[in-house]
């Protein structure tokens, strides 16, 4: 199958054969990432009178009950309903293929930058700053950034099972950085850490509120809110995948929920002369 994409008056061949998944495989009952000390994702054999859902125990088929917390147990995508009372179901969003840019950044301690965040930054906070993003995106076209994929360094394969807590607090965007991405037209933001906000932020989630344009300290949509936008967290981008422009498929189950496990897939593009 051969499909082409035209963007900015240039044509590209979509390389379906070189697709790259950005999701962390979720090993139920095994090693997995964890945020905020929640219970790990588990799988349990379904048992009922006269039935056991395990072929190794004599059952006719395998049937398991899965328990997980999408926001904390692995790669997931969330809608604005993460922070508001209104229902905007994540399974209804991001159904199309979209242009995306992958970038790599090295978070800096807050004491080395001059940017803002609510609540105020602490010197040792690991941040992704506006200045950093401006430098990395300076030579790219915002036309490609309907979706932005952010990979952070260091990027060992062990990151796929890191436990984030007070001993390993993840990086996050400054408010200035998040607002800069909105200026560039980013509608779908994908990151390889568990939240675009600081882990311990007094419950403000200021970047989430900026991203969806929901007034601070409120939980209601307004006429200005951007309900079509999504945030995908806890992805993993192999070091073998190069920075650049891709076509993104943000694969989501039809969950009637604010968040769901997801499997973002990117497809390389080949310029047609």
As given in the structure block, the two tokens for residue 21 are 């998944």
The average pLDDT across 137-159 equals: 97
**Cα 90 from Cα 110, distance rounded (Å):** 33
Tell me how far CA of residue 185 lies from CA of 66, 143, 157, 182, 211, in angstroms: 37, 8, 31, 5, 11
**Cα 221 from Cα 86, distance rounded (Å):** 7
Chain-centroid distance, C-alpha 157? 17
Backbone phi, psi, residue 12, to 5°: -130, 145
Q: What is the pTM of this model?
A: 0.97
The average pLDDT across 129-145 equals: 96
Tell me how far CA of residue 58 lies from CA of 54, 112, 135, 146, in angstroms: 7, 61, 60, 51
As given in the structure block, the two tokens for residue 168 are 């390993």
**Cα 58 from Cα 37, distance rounded (Å):** 36
The average pLDDT across 88-97 equals: 96
The average pLDDT across 194-205 equals: 97
Residue 36 confidence (pLDDT): 92
**pLDDT, tens digit, 9 for 90 and up, residues 1-55:** 678 888 888 999 999 999 999 999 999 999 999 999 999 999 999 999 999 999 9
Is pLDDT at 153 greater than 80 in this prediction? yes
Residue 5 confidence (pLDDT): 86
Residue 2 confidence (pLDDT): 78
Question: Where would I find the H helices in the chain?
Answer: 70-73, 130-137, 175-183, 206-212
**Cα 114 from Cα 271, distance rounded (Å):** 39
The average pLDDT across 185-192 equals: 98
Q: Which superfamily is assigned to 4-24+79-272 in CATH?
A: Putative cyclase (3.50.30.50)
- Neighbouring CB atoms inside 10 A of 233's CB total 25
Backbone phi, psi, residue 20, to 5°: -130, 120
**Cα 228 from Cα 88, distance rounded (Å):** 9
Is pLDDT at 108 greater than 90 in this prediction? yes
**pLDDT, tens digit, 9 for 90 and up, residues 206-260:** 999 999 999 999 999 999 999 999 999 999 999 999 999 999 999 999 999 999 9
**Burial classification of residue 258, based on how many CB atoms lie within 10 Å of its CB (0-12 exposed, 13-18 middle, 19 or more buried):** buried
The average pLDDT across 138-152 equals: 96
Q: What is the mean pLDDT of the chain?
A: 96
Residue 98 confidence (pLDDT): 96
Residue 8 confidence (pLDDT): 83
**Do the Cβ atoms of 261 and 75 come closer than 8 Å?**
yes
Residue 191 confidence (pLDDT): 98
Q: Which residue has the tokens 């951007």?
A: 226
As given in the structure block, the two tokens for residue 166 are 């007070």
The average pLDDT across 166-184 equals: 97
């Amino acid at each position: 199958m051969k499909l082409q994409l035209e963007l900015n008056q240039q044509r590209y061949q979509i390389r379906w054969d070189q697709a790259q998944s950005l999701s962390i495989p979720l090993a139920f009952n095994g090693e997995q990432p964890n945020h905020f000390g929640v219970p790990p994702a588990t799988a349990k054999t379904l048992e009922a009178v006269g039935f056991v859902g395990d072929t190794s125990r004599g059952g006719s088929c395998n049937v398991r009950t899965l328990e997980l917390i999408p926001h904390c147990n692995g790669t997931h995508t969330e809608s604005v309903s993460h922070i508001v009372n209104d229902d905007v179901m994540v399974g209804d969003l991001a159904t199309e293929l979209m242009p995306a840019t992958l970038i790599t950044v090295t978070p800096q301690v807050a004491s080395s930058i001059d940017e803002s965040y609510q609540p105020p930054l602490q010197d040792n906070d690991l941040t992704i700053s506006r200045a950093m993003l401006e430098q990395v995106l300076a030579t790219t076209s915002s036309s490609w950034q309907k979706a932005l994929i952010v990979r952070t360094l260091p990027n060992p394969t062990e990151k796929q099972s890191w436990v984030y807590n007070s001993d390993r607090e993840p990086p996050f965007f400054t408010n200035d950085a998040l607002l800069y991405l909105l200026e560039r037209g980013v509608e779908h933001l994908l990151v390889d850490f568990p939240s675009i906000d600081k882990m311990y932020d007094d419950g403000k989630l200021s970047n989430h509120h900026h991203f969806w344009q929901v007034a601070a300290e409120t939980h209601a949509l307004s006429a200005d809110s951007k309900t079509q936008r999504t945030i995908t967290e806890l992805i993993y981008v192999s070091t073998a995948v190069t920075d650049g422009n891709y076509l993104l498929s943000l694969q989501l189950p039809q969950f009637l929920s604010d968040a769901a496990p997801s499997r973002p897939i990117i497809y390389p593009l080949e310029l047609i002369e």
